[in-house]
Amino acid sequence: MIAAQNLEKRFPGFLLRVPRLRAEPGEILALLGPSGAGKSTLLMLLAGLLPPDAGRVERTGPAVYLDQQPYLLERSVLENAAFGLRLKGVPRARARRAALSWLSRVGLEALAERPARGLSGGERVRLALARALATEPKSLLLDEPTANLDPANVARVEALIGEERHRGRAIVLVTHNLFQAKRLADRALFLLAGEVVEEGPAPAFFEAPKDPRTRAFLSGEMVW
Amino acid sequence: MNEILEITLRSLLVSGSATLLAALFGLPLGIWLGARARPQRLAASLLYAGMGLPPVVVGLLFYFLLSRSGPLGSLGLLYSIPGMVLAESVLAFPLIAGFAMAGVAAKAEPVRRLVKSLGGSELQVHLTLLAESRRVVVAALAAGFGAVISEVGAVTIVGGDIRHATRVLTTAVVIETRKGELERAAALGVVLLGVTLLVTAILVVFGDREAP
């Protein structure tokens, strides 16, 4: 589970305020909103990568954040996948064995010994997911994991995210793709200029949004 | 010993030692500055300005410092190899520190975010950044070495271009050209190019090795 209460983060000319947020184990919460609404900032606050100015974040177990453009180390695919485990002090041979099984799950085992920097966009995301999942986090915080990917890779990454939900991870997903949010999310939260406009179960959120700004956003109107 | 070989070895000794001396101080400083969350604008400006230091001015400064009446005159380093190394290291220092700083700064935030997001400590952030910066370190060393081995102003003033004592490839090219020995000057030029390319290639191969 990952949750936040009365969370605030200020930047010059911008205030992010989230009174309440919660993603239960086995649940995907989609964070929606236009660019600059504060979605990525909120995700980094949840991950503990940014300190909040007020409020608190609760996590049951480790949470792993996946960047929009995941950084791959100048090492092999396998060493990248094992990196999180190595940070936790897992011996190299054991970390590599575990990493290899995660690479196999994301379909990259054949590329294990290749330099990670040579991977395609979709392969990079899958490797970053394998690296994150190898550490067995309780929560996954995904910042637009399928941005700029082709449909086949989008489907592959979405399938992985869906599997991880079924494995009981709490997942917070930032996406600009409303169709993806509808396909994956159990709950959705709409942010606008740092404010939570609406939050609720996905079916009600997408089919009968209460706030006119949410309706406008979901119907493709420009809102900011 | 063949004079060209003697001059080449001396060039390598002077430039290699100057690069190592500059790296000893420049790499830690550059990496430290680049890894800082807040950029140090004054230090960065000084380093970037230092990259354009005119070698003749540095040579002249060391001439004043090392000449018999200068503050370091008692050391007897003027027209000596250690004196040339000191002057060259001052030229290489801002290049090495500046390249290291810029390269590390470009990686610092994504590496920090990656390590922290996977639950790593601040120490692990720095160790990972160091491992990820080896290509940056190689580029910094290559830039420093390339600058000092091809430099002629400071080594001429501080070394005096004394045959069989302080003559290096660049000063030899100048003197042979002045004497009209163009074939010899060209041969020395080719050796200079070859040495620079060889050392850079060795550094690049070293930098391309996979991190453990």
> Looking at the structure, do residues A166 and A224 belong to the same domain, yes or no?
yes
Structure tokens at B202: 């060795």
- Nearest-CA distance B210 → chain A (Å): 6
Confidence tier at B62 by pLDDT (50, 70, 90): very high
By the 8 A CB rule, do A2 and A159 touch?
A: no
CATH number of A177's domain: 3.40.50.300
Closest alpha carbon to A107 in A168, A70, A155: A155
> Looking at the structure, do residues A126 and A142 belong to the same domain, yes or no?
no
* CB pair distance less than 8 Å for B117 and A73: no
> Looking at the structure, do residues A143 and A130 belong to the same domain, yes or no?
no
Please give the share of chain A, as a percent, with pLDDT higher than 90: 90
CA distances to A50, A160, B36, B71 from A53, rounded to whole Å, are 9, 34, 22, 55
Q: Is the pLDDT of residue B18 over 70?
A: yes
Ranking A82-86, A194-198, A200-204, B134-138 by mean pLDDT, the lowest is B134-138
Q: Does A70 touch chain B (CB under 8 A)?
A: yes
Q: Is the pLDDT of residue B1 over 70?
A: no
* CB pair distance less than 8 Å for A79 and B210: yes
Span A101-130, average pLDDT:
94
Domain that holds residue A82: 71-136
Tens digit of each residue's pLDDT (9 = 90 or more) over A109-120: 999 999 998 999
Residue B39 pLDDT: 65
> Looking at the structure, do residues A126 and A143 belong to the same domain, yes or no?
no
The closest CB to that of B116, out of A49, A66, A132, belongs to A49
Angle at A28 between CA A22 and CA A29, to 5 degrees: 50
> Looking at the structure, do residues A37 and A86 belong to the same domain, yes or no?
no
> Looking at the structure, do residues A160 and A201 belong to the same domain, yes or no?
yes
Q: Is the pLDDT of residue B41 over 90?
A: no
Residues in chain A: 224
Q: Does A57 touch chain B (CB under 8 A)?
A: no
Best to test chain A binding among B104, B109, B111, B118 (most A CBs inside 10 Å): B118
- Partners of A139 in the beta sheet? A63, A170
> Looking at the structure, do residues A95 and A17 belong to the same domain, yes or no?
no
| Integer Cα distance of B52 and B57 in angstroms | 11
By the 8 A CB rule, do B149 and B169 touch?
A: yes
What domains lie within chain B, and their CATH numbers?
Answer: 3-208 (1.10.3720.10)
By the 8 A CB rule, do A2 and A58 touch?
A: yes
Which residues 145-204 on chain A approach chain B with CB closer than 8 angstroms? none
Tens digit of each residue's pLDDT (9 = 90 or more) over A181-190: 999 999 999 9
- Nearest-CA distance B106 → chain A (Å): 12
> Looking at the structure, do residues A54 and A87 belong to the same domain, yes or no?
no
State which of A107, A136, A165 marks the end of a domain. Answer: A136
The closest CB to that of B117, out of A49, A75, A76, belongs to A49
Span B158-175, average pLDDT:
96
Residue A29 pLDDT: 98
> Looking at the structure, do residues A113 and A151 belong to the same domain, yes or no?
no
pTM above 0.90, yes or no: no
* CB pair distance less than 8 Å for B111 and A84: no
Q: Is the pLDDT of residue B212 over 60?
A: no
CA A44 to chain centre: 10
> Looking at the structure, do residues A142 and A223 belong to the same domain, yes or no?
yes
By the 8 A CB rule, do B117 and A47 touch?
A: yes
Structure tokens at A196: 């939570």
Q: Does A75 touch chain B (CB under 8 A)?
A: yes
Tens digit of each residue's pLDDT (9 = 90 or more) over B106-131: 999 999 999 999 999 999 998 999 89
- Nearest-CA distance B118 → chain A (Å): 6
> Looking at the structure, do residues A58 and A150 belong to the same domain, yes or no?
yes
State which of A136, A160, A188 marks the end of a domain. Answer: A136
Tens digit of each residue's pLDDT (9 = 90 or more) over A42-59: 999 999 999 999 999 999
> Looking at the structure, do residues A153 and A187 belong to the same domain, yes or no?
yes
| Interface pTM, i.e. ipTM | 0.88
DSSP letter, residue B211: P
Amino acid identity at B100: A
Query: What's the order of all strands across the beta sheet hosting A28-32?
Result: A54-59, A2-11, A14-23, A195-201, A187-192, A28-32, A170-174, A139-143, A63-66
By the 8 A CB rule, do B121 and A89 touch?
A: no
Q: Is the pLDDT of residue B210 over 60?
A: no
- Nearest-CA distance A183 → chain B (Å): 27
State which of A136, A162, A185 marks the end of a domain. Answer: A136
Question: Domain tally for chain A?
Answer: 2
Which residues on chain B are in Cβ contact (under 8 Å) with A135? Answer: 118-119
